[in-house]
């Protein structure tokens, strides 16, 4: 993409309403544009990152054997009356009426909708477990929308649901999602701590929040610091392994978010010098809640003994739009964002320092088309701005690698390569550039 064609409305000033760094950087780098409180449009740069995160989440759900579906954003109130949550949910739910004056709502979550799909189609234990997920916009009329996309009113969530014959089977599904979440966050370069959590109004007995440590996090978290170095080679764990054992390795360490925290338990389980209290951002949440919805909504199956049994369910969420902000919170410096390669909006930023010079333009055009031929997603700054503007813009938007072409390239026949994260600079002869590109592609340096 040529920057001259790319819609990148960067801001010079930090918007005063943006309290935390991720919100400031997302606004400054033109990733989002506010529509109303807690509701945003996603502009090209932001949308590319959102899609990359979405695709990692999707890929890991598919690998775990979960089926992708797409449920509507608008749901009938009747389903929520059946489960009893229509009244319980309160003011966070956006309630609407259609022209027939039927009560509808904009989905804040989908337990009811998915249970309805399940009960219409699955009648026998032989079809269990059933694992379904979708990636869809949610609306919750949060009391205090803030921190940009971190606590929005409209936000993108991956929510999955499991249906099993009994509690033991349900636990197996729960472990599967537990492992898939560790894999998902690891792939994004995040260290997410699974924290024992309160099950809240949703009920049940198994619940973990996945939290990343960040000063700007909204929840207080308490944990045994050794969990940070727990590495059970999560990317290699196959789903047909004994997953309970892997989950147990994490559960051996005391962890708790604020609602569940108990000081005496903390002291009894964790030596003082291993006790850590911090702030965290919740990026995922998994629950198992037994037959709460299946009983209320009559979702039952025929067992092998020919009896009817209510299915045991779990639900599993990941905040996809929140992750965009959370990744920035954990990866930035004073100049701007530093994207982990896998979620970066482009692989390489190509900077033409003198677009009035025909020779330099020719070199840049060659490099640009070669990179495109190699399927490298490159943002080519071909604009007429001065070098200072170009450098600070490229640093702000945080692409992992920059290639800089200017007068020096003509003199020395060398391209300057700058790594955004380390600041490391090196020079490569123009004719050696194709080899260099092959190397960095292989080593996943981009």
Which residues are CB-contacts of 193 (< 8 A; sequence separation ≥ 6)? 210, 211, 212, 213, 221, 223, 227, 228, 255, 280
Q: Judged by CB, which is closer to Mg ion: 199, or 276?
A: 199
290 binds, among ligand ATP, Mg ion, none (CB under 5 to 8 A by kind): none
Helix (H) or strand (E) holding 369: helix 358-373
Q: Judged by CB, which is closer to ligand ATP: 285, or 292?
A: 285
Helix (H) or strand (E) holding 379: strand 378-381
Q: Judged by CB, which is closer to ligand ATP: 6, or 86?
A: 86
140 binds, among Mg ion, ligand ATP, none (CB under 5 to 8 A by kind): ligand ATP
For ligand ATP, the binding residue among 28, 52, 140, 418 (CB under 6 A) is 140
- Kindly state whether residue 415 participates in binding ligand ATP, applying the rule CB under 6 A: no
Residues of this chain, 258-317, that bind ligand ATP according to CB under 6 A: 282-285, 317
Residues of this chain, 333-392, that bind ligand ATP according to CB under 6 A: none
Report the alpha-carbon distance of residue 295 to residue 311 in Å, rounded: 8
Note whether 32 and 38 are within 8 A (CB): no
Q: What are phi and psi of 244, to 5 degrees?
A: -60, -40
Which residues are CB-contacts of 215 (< 8 A; sequence separation ≥ 6)? 279
319 binds, among Mg ion, ligand ATP, none (CB under 5 to 8 A by kind): ligand ATP
For ligand ATP, the binding residue among 82, 103, 141, 142 (CB under 6 A) is 142
What one-character DSSP code corresponds to residue 386? -
- Kindly state whether residue 111 participates in binding ligand ATP, applying the rule CB under 6 A: no
Question: Contact positions toward Mg ion, by CB under 5 A?
Answer: 285
406 binds, among ligand ATP, Mg ion, none (CB under 5 to 8 A by kind): none
**Least distance from ligand ATP to the Cβ atom of residue 119, Å:** 22
Report the alpha-carbon distance of residue 353 to residue 375 in Å, rounded: 24
Q: How far is CA 139 from CA 17, 74, 134, 237, in A?
A: 22, 10, 15, 35
Contact footprint for ligand ATP (CB under 6 A): 109, 140, 142, 151-152, 155, 157, 282-285, 317, 319, 321-322
């Amino acid at each position: 993409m040529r920057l001259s064609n790319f819609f990148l409305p960067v801001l010079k000033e930090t918007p005063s309403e943006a309290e935390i760094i991720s919100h400031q950087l997302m606004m400054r780098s033109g990733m989002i544009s506010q529509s109303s409180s807690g509701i945003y449009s996603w502009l090209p740069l932001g949308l590319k990152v959102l899609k990359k995160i979405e695709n990692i989440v999707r890929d890991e759900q598919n690998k775990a054997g979960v089926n992708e579906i797409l449920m509507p954003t608008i749901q009938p109130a009747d389903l929520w009356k059946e489960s009893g949550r229509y009244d319980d949910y309160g003011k966070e739910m956006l309630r609407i009426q259609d022209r027939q004056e039927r009560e509808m709502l904009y989905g804040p979550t989908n337990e009811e909708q998915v249970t309805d799909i399940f009960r219409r189609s699955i009648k026998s234990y032989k079809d269990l477990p059933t694992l379904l997920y979708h990636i869809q916009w949610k609306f919750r009329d949060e009391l205090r929308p803030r921190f940009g996309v971190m606590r929005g009113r409209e936000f993108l969530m991956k929510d999955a649901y499991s249906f099993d014959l009994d509690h033991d089977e349900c636990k197996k599904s729960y472990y599967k999602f537990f492992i898939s979440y560790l894999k998902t966050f690891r792939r994004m370069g995040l260290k997410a701590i699974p924290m024992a959590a309160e099950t809240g109004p949703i009920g049940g007995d198994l619940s973990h929040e996945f939290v990343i440590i960040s000063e700007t996090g909204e929840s207080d978290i308490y944990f045994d610091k050794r969990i940070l170095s727990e590495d059970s080679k999560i990317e290699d764990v196959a789903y047909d392994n004994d997953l309970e054992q892997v989950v147990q390795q994490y559960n051996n360490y005391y962890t708790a978010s604020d609602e569940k925290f108990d000081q005496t338990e903390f002291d009894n389980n964790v030596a003082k010098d291993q006790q850590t209290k911090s702030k965290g951002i919740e990026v995922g949440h998994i629950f198992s809640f037994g037959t709460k919805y299946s009983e209320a909504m009559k979702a039952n199956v025929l067992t092998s003994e020919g009896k009817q049994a209510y299915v045991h369910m779990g639900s599993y969420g990941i905040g996809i739009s929140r992750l965009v902000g959370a990744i920035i919170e954990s990866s930035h410096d004073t100049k701007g964002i530093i994207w982990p390669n896998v979620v970066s909006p482009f692989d390489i930023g190509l900077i033409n320092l003198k677009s009035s010079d025909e020779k330099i333009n020719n070199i840049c055009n060659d490099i640009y088309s070669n990179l495109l031929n190699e399927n490298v997603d490159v943002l080519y700054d071909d604009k007429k701005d001065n070098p200072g503007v170009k450098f600070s813009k490229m640093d702000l938007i945080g692409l992992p690698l920059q290639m800089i072409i200017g007068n020096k390239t003509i003199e020395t026949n060398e391209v300057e390569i700058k790594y955004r994260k380390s600041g490391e600079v090196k020079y490569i002869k123009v004719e050696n550039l194709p080899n260099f590109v092959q190397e960095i592609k292989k080593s996943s340096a981009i």
